[in-house]
Amino acid sequence: MPRRKPCPNQQNASHLRQSIAGVAARLMAEDGISDYGQAKRKAARTFGAIDSDALPSNQEVAAELRSYQALFQEDEHADRIRRLRGVALAVMALLESFRPCLIGAVLDGTAGRYADVELELFADSAKDVEIFLLSRHIPYEHLKPGRTRPDAPEAKLRMECQDEYVILLIQPHQAERRNSGQGRARAPEVAALLAD
């Protein structure tokens, strides 16, 4: 029995998803867009795609991003990731009492040229972190936490370390158990990544 060929509409949809993923990856690598959703929507507009079914998954974009960085930014990218992980480790040592975890693109190795370090902190209150920073004369600013979702941080602060921005996502202590596992790294794990 002959194999059925995919219908042209399925082929076109698959090609469109891959094309959107490729453009979204380039936007993240070159233009400093760090939000997958924003990159996908902007890429989709270049193709006139308005159907959300045409949007690739974050995993598809991340795969394209890794390919793009390996092809066009290999040396620069490796140095950038190493530098950002070093900054993360320094800030994690400073904020050790808040049990920091490195998350996001710096951890998974997809951080673009303008990416910030993202650390998740756990505290009784966001004010505890602010008091800690103020008592050490470390300047910071408040950022909007973003979209409201169940795991949204209590507060989002931005500080600077070694000329790099570090985003502090402050969560309540009970979120630490909820958020443990994949996609997060404690200081020893970040140090191990740097040692590789």
Q: Where do the domains of the chain lie? A: 8-72, 75-195
Nearest-angstrom CA–CA distance, 30 and 32 = 6
Instruction: Judge contact between 173 and 95, C-beta under 8 A.
Output: no
pLDDT of residue 181: 62
Q: What is the pLDDT, as a whole number, of residue 51? A: 66
- At residue 150 the predicted structure's pLDDT band, cuts being 50, 70 and 90, is low
Question: How do strand 184-185 and strand 101-103 relate by DSSP bridges?
Answer: antiparallel
Write out the CATH class of domain 75-195. Answer: alpha beta
| pTM for this predicted structure | 0.75
User: Strand runs (DSSP E) across the chain, as ranges?
Assistant: 101-103, 117-123, 140-143, 155-161, 164-172, 184-185
97-138: pLDDT as tens digits: 999 999 999 998 988 888 899 999 999 999 999 999 999 999
